[in-house]
Amino acid sequence: MKPLVPLIFERSVPGRVGYSLPDCDVPEQDISQLLPVDQIRQTAPALPEVSEGDVIRHYLNLSLLNHSVDNGFYPLGSCTMKYNPKINENVSRLPGFARLHPLAPEKCAQGALQLVYELEQYLAEITGMDAVTLQPVAGAHGEYTGLKLIVAYHKARGDFKRKTILVPDSAHGTNPASAAMAGMNIVQVKSDAKGCVSLEDLRAKADDTVAALMLTNPNTLGLFDVNIAEIAEIVHQAGGLLYYDGANANAILGKVRPGDTGFDVVHLNLHKTFSTPHGGGGPGSGPVGVKAKLIPCLPVPRVVKKENEFSLDYDCPESIGKVHSFYGNFAVNVRAYAYIRMLGGQGLKLASEDAVLNANYLQARLKGAYHLEYDRLCMHEFVISAKHQKVKGVHTLDIAKRLLDFGVHPPTIYFPLIVDEAMMIEPTETEGKETLDYFIDAMLQIAKEAEETPEKVTNAPHTTPISRLDEVAAARNPILRWL
């Protein structure tokens, strides 16, 4: 069977080129006079030999195989696949930003430094923290940076026994992975019957070895933890800090601030909450905000302002050091800055309100046909289960694949782990009611099919460019490159 789109290598025709370069206008020299002879490349890399037109056609045809926010509904839970404003793309490409070298003298970078400085202030205000660093480039990178800050904070106090990071059993897998990278031990805290942190279990585990509790609030079930004040008190009394995983911050803008609910460190995902595009998996940006007592530990350099002059400050003896080659994903931060300036405080609040409204509407309309483990008002997302459908041999994976036939990207599936056959649905605020109704109708039709013609669901998808792929074969005999 013919491949959907041949590999770019398969389009290669020896001798064809896709570039033009000016003639070399400096004196020619034999490269063997300049380079170590034993390091001169003997065999050229087998890169494709194609024309510019070949390249454009290839990648355009590839792009058509993708589902994206701009193609259709993308209710992927915990990923906040909201619309990516087009102005963001334009302003991030302004030559004054795009052509700025990170090691240009500071006086040549005043506009960029001002933007970084102001965005840090905005994010501090939004989260209720005292300072923010924009250096982490992804959510996981932010988590890692935040945990390093916590470790450094305890050490600076002379408290060396705090080696434990508490994570709820509903947490994202990155939480324990980041904690392990920061050299910490992980202890899991159970959820209670309402899907919130079990206070009893937390009390039992909050001892004097605890460095921090990492919490996503609203949690991965889309539920705001009503006991947050008690949780903060328990952790703080044990001498630990409270870490806010901002994966779900899209629910709370202008409504409640992590800094006001006891959190000491927070990370945000600008590619979720602040509309910067996901880019097919990156680049993102994962700023970290802290309370005043952790400011000395922030990564270097810090952007500082003195009499309307901005500069980079490296003189921070208690800093955890550097976490990125330069200053983070600047061009992504430009997009988030533009988004905040466009919406303002009221606009951000309205965005969160609509995100929560949309999620509750979907939950209310779907909870008859699908099992809802925690039946209460949700925040910006919720988790349903294919428990009813499982009886007919239809699993969450099948429902996800069947949704593809409706031109809808499936929800996050099989997560959180504490719900059997989970589907985590996050519509975001940028979808209108008609889109939500279309999705509801699709989900209800699939529920009906699961009853009446389950094979229609279990054999899905039927209309995608490619059908289900053999992941077992891919993992058993990995083919990771052409040739």
Site residues (CB under 8 A) for another protein, limited to 386-405 = 400-401, 404
- Size of site (CB under 8 A) for another protein: 207
Cis peptide before 176 (omega within 30 of 0): no
| Contacting residue, 356, 372, 422, 450, with another protein by CB under 8 A | 356
Per CB under 8 A, contacts with another protein among 163-182 are 172-174, 176-182
| Contacting residue, 261, 273, 389, 458, with another protein by CB under 8 A | 261
Give every CB contact of residue 449 below 8 A, 6+ residues apart in sequence. 402, 456, 457
Rounded to an integer, what is the distance from CA 382 to the centroid of its chain?
18
CA distance 385 to 427: 17
Residue 213 identity: L
Give me 346's structure tokens. Answer: 């009221």
Which contiguous run of DSSP H or E holds residue 385?
strand 382-385
Asked if residue 7 binds another protein (CB under 8 A), the reply is yes
Q: What are phi and psi of 381, to 5 degrees?
A: -150, 170
Smallest separation (angstroms) from another protein to the CB of 133 = 13
Asked if residue 250 binds another protein (CB under 8 A), the reply is no
Asked if residue 22 binds another protein (CB under 8 A), the reply is yes
CB 332 within 8 A of CB 276: yes
CB 97 within 8 A of CB 226: no
Considering only 52-60, 201-209, 239-247, 290-298, which stretch makes contact with another protein by CB under 8 A? 52-60
Return the HEC string of 117-168: HHHHHHHHHHHCCCEEECCCCCHHHHHHHHHHHHHHHHHHCCCCCCCEEEEE
Smallest separation (angstroms) from another protein to the CB of 328 = 5
| Contacting residue, 132, 166, 186, 419, with another protein by CB under 8 A | 186
Per CB under 8 A, contacts with another protein among 60-99 are 60, 62-71, 74, 76, 79, 81-85, 87, 89-99
Asked if residue 257 binds another protein (CB under 8 A), the reply is yes
Considering only 233-241, 288-296, 328-336, 448-456, which stretch makes contact with another protein by CB under 8 A? 328-336
Q: How many CA atoms lie within 13 A of 466 on its CB side?
A: 13
Per CB under 8 A, contacts with another protein among 99-128 are 99-105, 107-112, 114-115, 122, 125-126, 128
Give every CB contact of residue 318 below 8 A, 6+ residues apart in sequence. 152, 156, 296, 297
Asked if residue 144 binds another protein (CB under 8 A), the reply is yes
Per CB under 8 A, contacts with another protein among 188-217 are none
| Contacting residue, 199, 316, 357, 418, with another protein by CB under 8 A | 357
Asked if residue 368 binds another protein (CB under 8 A), the reply is no
Smallest separation (angstroms) from another protein to the CB of 62 = 4
Give every CB contact of residue 87 below 8 A, 6+ residues apart in sequence. 338, 342
Which residue has 């599936």 as its token pair?
413
Smallest separation (angstroms) from another protein to the CB of 304 = 16
Asked if residue 313 binds another protein (CB under 8 A), the reply is no
Smallest separation (angstroms) from another protein to the CB of 225 = 8
Residue 101 identity: H
